[in-house]
Structure 1
C-alpha cells in the first residue's frame, strides 16, 4: 500500500502545481486587465483548492503509514539531526499544511469579495503565497538537501 500511495502522492503534486499555475495566470490576468470574474475563474478557484485538499489527504495518509516518519517519531532525539529524516518527519508536513491553509483561505476570501477585481487580487496574492510555500517544500530531484525523483513508478 505504501509504494502505491507514495507514487500517487508524487503524481498528484503535478496536478496541484498545474492547477495553481493556471489559477494564478487567470487571477493575475483578470486583476491586471480588469476582466470580469467569469464562471471559469470561479471553477478554477474551486478546483485548485479541491486538488490541493486531495493532495493534503493523500499526504496525511502517507504520513501516518510512512516508515521514514515512524523512524522519525520513534527516534526523535537522534532523527531530528538527520536532514532527510527531519525533512519528511517534520518540515515537509508543516510547511505543506500551512500552504494548503493559505490556499484555502485565499479561495474562501476570493469567493466572498464583492467586486471582480478584488476576487482576482485576493486569489492572486493568497495563491502566490501558497505556491511559494509548496515550491520550497517539495523534495525536488535537484535539491541538495533532500531529493526525490520527479515521477515515481507504481
Structure 2
C-alpha cells in the first residue's frame, strides 16, 4: 500500500469522491509540478452539512462546526488533486491553503476555523503538510456554504 494511502487508513480517513463542479470550472488543474484545486465546499454525499454564517448567536454556524467543515473541504480538495495526479504519494509539499469563512460581521475567528484544513493536512503529510496560508472572512460563499478551501500542492 502506498505511504499516503496507508496514512489515510491509519487515520481512519476515506477520501470522498470528487465533488462535481457547481459552475463552469474543473475541480483541479496541473501546471508544471503543481496542482491547483478549485475552492472546495464541505460537500458530503452531494449536500452541505450546514449553511449560513459562522459566528456567535442564534442561527449561526458555530466556529467548532465550521472547523470540522474546513477539514471536509480539505479532504474534498485532496480528492480533486488525486483525480488529476493519480496518487497522493506524488505530493511532495502542501504549498498553500486558502480558506474562506462566511462570517457574521463581528466574527474574527477565521484562522481557527481554517485550522480544520491545516491540521488534517499536517496529520496526513507530516512535515510536507506545513504550508503558507490565508484565512479570509467573506460576506457569503457559493450555495450559502459556511467555508471554502483551496489548495496548491507540489508534486513529482
So what's the TM-score if we normalise by structure 2? 0.31
Question: Whose strand fraction is larger, Structure 1's or Structure 2's?
Answer: 2
Normalising to structure 1: TM-score of the pair?
A: 0.31
